[in-house]
Amino acid sequence: MTTTTSTTFPGLTAGTWAIDPVHSTVGFTVRHLVVSKVRGSFENFSGAVTVAEDGTAAVSAEIAVDSIDTKNSDRDAHIKSADFFDAEQFPTASFTSTGVRSTGKGYVVDGEFTLHGVTKPVELELEFNGVNPGMGNGPVAGFEATTVINRKDFGISIDMPLEGGGAVVGDKITINLEIEAGLQA
């Protein structure tokens, strides 16, 4: 369970705060050819922040890995293949929180991330952007989070070495989340 108190996130009242995929982004960056980065996102994802009456919070999320979009359909098809995500066998990635810690400047959400059938602990650096009354459908909360994973830790171990050294695709993946969540009635 988490250790967040209600005073940690002012205005985040008890209930289920569902991620609004229309106003949220699940994105990533990875090194390409050693010298640049490829950026991408996932179009299909869902999740929620559930806040108990005592203020403790739990986060869960799921991503359809076949909804990847790097603005290049050939690259997206390759990433969905058995070389990378093997989306047919492992169609989703998921996150479940195990705790929340204040860092003084922000927060860290500890949790278990599952990708490619492998579950590993991760830490999300979190910024809480507050709560807004919304636009007639109830309050919304905003969050930004980042983490860095090594794809090889999750069994995505394809090597595509370059003749002069390095690899076509880097091992470290930076995951960037921009989340808006609405309190469900």
**Burial (CB count <10 Å: 0-12, 13-18, 19+), residue 180:** buried
Inter-CA distances, 49 with 12, 59, 73, 121, Å: 10, 5, 33, 18
Positions in the chain whose pLDDT score sits under 70:
1-8, 34-35, 161-162, 165-168
pLDDT in tens, 23-77: 999 999 887 776 678 899 999 999 999 988 887 889 999 999 999 999 999 989 9
106: phi then psi, degrees, rounded to nearest 5:
-170, -145
pLDDT of residue 3: 37
**Burial (CB count <10 Å: 0-12, 13-18, 19+), residue 57:** buried
Q: Which two tokens stand for residue 114?
A: 């599952």
Q: Which of 24, 14, 1, 15 is nearest to 129 (CA)?
A: 24
pLDDT of residue 56: 80
**Other Cβ atoms closer than 10 A to 177:** 21
pLDDT of residue 8: 62
171: Cβ contacts below 8 Å, ≥ 6 apart: 150, 151, 152
Q: Which of 148, 183, 135, 159 is nearest to 12 (CA)?
A: 183
Give the bridge partners for 119, in sequence order.
Answer: 114
**Other Cβ atoms closer than 10 A to 82:** 11
Topology (CATH level 3) of domain 15-183 = Lipocalin (2.40.128)
